[in-house]
Amino acid sequence: MTQQGPFWITADRNETDFPDASLALSEPDGLLAAGGNLSPERLLNAYRHGIFPWYNDGQPILWWSPDPRSVLDPRQPRISRSLRKLLRQERFEVSYDRCFEAVISACAAPRKTETGTWITDAIRSAYTCLHQLGYAHSIECWQEGELAGGLYGVSIGRVFFGESMFSHTSNASKVAFIHLVRQLADWQFELVDCQVYTSHLASLGAFSIPRQQFLAQIKTLCNLEPAVDAWQTGGKLTGGPGGQV
């Protein structure tokens, strides 16, 4: 019988390989492995194979690949009438990679209904390193010069793997997200990974697909280059031709 996860990965292993994602548990959904480290090489290999880390302080690093997978086509976001009106009002300026560390710190702050955070100091350090290497990116939403909301994730090939978002001002993260997906569409990205279903992301156009379909798509898309030289440091998001409202 084929062994099912979770598999244990020793922290000092230099190898970055993971068990096949199809071996992940169905309960809890998608738990594949524990242990290992958060080196850039291991994190990038994880994303390329549909795996991501998610754990709390006091736990070993836990690696997940849920089934089904929540995704979004950047060419087909869902924009409600009220959000479309907000975008037309241009209350916010949206940029990327201006203040990655401030964005991930804001995402790490406990939500009103929570006391802890899964974005540990180790996660923050690891993704800041990925940002410095050109893989992790932040999207910032500004209002009157203050950071009002944003999100961060990892970009490989023509896939953007979303990680977390925050809002200090109502709807700021939604505005940041819509600007991002429009820009990704302009750069000919073909997929946004939203990991697991949430009503918030579903309201923006996210939908679920079987894990095997997701894995097949990223196997191809992670090896394609964007149509343009994307992610020039500290740019302003305009959304390209798809940005008209």
Residue 175's SS3 state is: helix
The pLDDT tens digits for 133-144 are 999 999 999 999
Q: Mean pLDDT throughout 190-196?
A: 97
The pLDDT tens digits for 18-52 are 999 999 999 999 999 999 999 999 999 999 999 99
Q: At what angle do helices 81-89 and 172-186 cross, to 10 degrees?
A: 80
Q: Mean pLDDT throughout 2-22?
A: 81
Q: Mean pLDDT throughout 127-133?
A: 97
Locate 230 and state its tokens. 């994307």
- The strand pairing partners of 142, in sequence order, are 93, 147
Q: How far apart are CA 178 and CA 119, in angstroms?
A: 23
Whole-number pLDDT of residue 69: 98
Q: pLDDT > 70: what percent of the chain?
A: 90
Whether the predicted pLDDT of 207 surpasses 60: yes
CA angle 166, 168, 173 (to 5 degrees): 45
End-to-end CA distance of the chain: 55
**For the purposes of burial, counting CB atoms within 10 Å of the CB of 86, is it exposed (0-12), middle (13-18) or buried (19 or more)?**
buried
The pLDDT tens digits for 80-124 are 999 999 999 999 999 999 999 999 999 999 766 555 578 999 999
**Full set of structural domains in the chain with CATH:** 7-67 (3.30.70.3550), 70-243 (3.40.630.70)
